[in-house]
Amino acid sequence: MTVYLPIAEMPINVLVFLAMGGAVGFLSGMFGVGGGFLMTPLLIFSGIPAAVAIGTEAAQIVASSVSGALAQYQRRNVDIKMGVVLLSGGLVGSVFGVQLVKELRELGQFELFVSIAYVVFLGIIGTLMMIESLNTMRKVRAGGHSSVRRSGQHSWIHGLPFKMRFHRSKLYISAIPPLLLGAFVGLLGAIMGVGGGFIIVPAMIYLLRVPTNVVVGTSLFQILFVTAGTTILHAVQNYTVDIVLALILMIGGVIGAQFGAVAGQRLQGEQLRFLLAGLVLLVCARVAWSLVVMPDELYSIAQSVGGH
């Protein structure tokens, strides 16, 4: 069963891409992550142009985060004020990111840049998560309690100006760190085709000391609006959002996520994080491999940008 994609301008097998969406959806449901960091490399490996993969993935992340964000909002787990600060930073980052994608495409270095970004970020996050989950596992086995929040402590973050009161997060901190964090995640999202949950969640917990129950809702809120903005920007600047491909991935993704969520409930938190760290490192290794090994074909051709 084939469909001709209007923007990628190529025929694809719908069933293959449905299965792909389903497999990634299953894993993202199981681990409670967006799945963008799995889906984007998969799309690129399967022959979708990198820029189309990233633009389309932004639309898919909107679909996969909207129901979660709504549910969290209704359970009052969203710190709207914090979300808006993160979001305004995120939109600025996204504008820069989309522009950067355009420039790099013209230079012909976009694929390289994406690959390096993946290797660096997945490598760092995967390693940190692996170490952290192993530590927690050891502590739990030893009978100790693992606590994350140390709200009393002060750090350099508390010395910054423009302080704001975030009621729901029970925080009184400068607006600069969340603004910068949002901008950074927005930039990454636009370049890597990810929601950025894997960066924003740990950063909110460890850097900003936001209570864990608020973190998930607020980050989902931020991801939803930033990826929506990124989708529109990619459509306007790069013409790379393929709605047909996005729809196929969405359908596979939501179905997979339902089953994944059920499977994920059987695992303990540390175990989940350990497996997720392993997965992140595998994707990292796969991308790094393709950079280091001599390609079969040294030449590549592309329609020169500007001629559309």
Interaction with another protein in 106-145: which residues (CB under 8 A)?
108-109, 111-112
Residue 268 in contact with another protein, rule: CB under 8 A: no
Q: Does 39 bind another protein (CB under 8 A)?
A: no
Q: Is 92 in the site for another protein (CB under 8 A)?
A: no
Dihedrals φ, ψ of 2, to 5°?
Answer: -115, 150
What is the 8-class DSSP label of residue 33? S
Indicate whether 148 belongs to the interface with another protein (CB under 8 A).
no
Whether the CA torsion 243, 95, 167, 207 is positive or negative: it is positive
The least CB distance from residue 154 to another protein, in Å, is 37
Query: Are 48 and 41 contacting, i.e. CB atoms less than 8 angstroms apart?
Result: no
Binders of another protein among 14-33, rule CB under 8 A? 16, 20, 23, 26-27, 30
Q: Does 269 bind another protein (CB under 8 A)?
A: no
Q: How far is the CB of 232 from another protein (least distance, A)?
A: 3
Place of tokens 């909110």: 204
Determine which residue in the list 7, 51, 86, 223 makes contact with another protein, applying CB under 8 A.
7
Could you give the CA distance from residue 223 to residue 32 in angstroms, rounded to a whole number?
14
Of 250, 276, 277, 280, the one binding another protein by CB under 8 A:
250
- CA end-to-end span of the chain, whole Å? 29
Using the rule CB under 8 A, give the single segment among 37-45, 151-159, 183-191, 204-212 that binds another protein.
Answer: 37-45
Q: Does 60 interact with another protein (rule: CB under 8 A)?
A: yes
CA 183-188-191 angle, 5° bins: 125
Q: How far is the CB of 96 from another protein (least distance, A)?
A: 17
Smallest distance from another protein to CB 239, Å: 6
Interface residue with another protein among 67, 135, 146, 155 (CB under 8 A) is 67
- For 72, the token pair is 């969290």
Contact predicate 278/130, CB 8 Å: yes
CB 175 within 8 A of CB 102: no
d(C-alpha 254, C-alpha 273), whole Å: 22
Stretch near another protein under the rule CB under 8 A, chosen from 84-92, 138-146, 163-171, 228-236: 228-236
Q: Are 198 and 36 in contact (CB under 8 A)?
A: no
Determine the interface stretch with another protein among 86-94, 135-143, 182-190, 290-298 (rule: CB under 8 A).
Answer: 290-298
Give Cβ neighbours of residue 222 (< 8 Å, ≥ 6 apart): 83, 86, 87, 90, 182, 185, 200
Retrieve residue 168's tokens: 């729901």
Cβ closest to another protein, residue 124 vs residue 236: 236
In the list 151, 239, 268, 269, the residue contacting another protein (rule: CB under 8 A) is: 239
Contact pick of 59, 114, 171, 208 for another protein (by CB under 8 A):
59
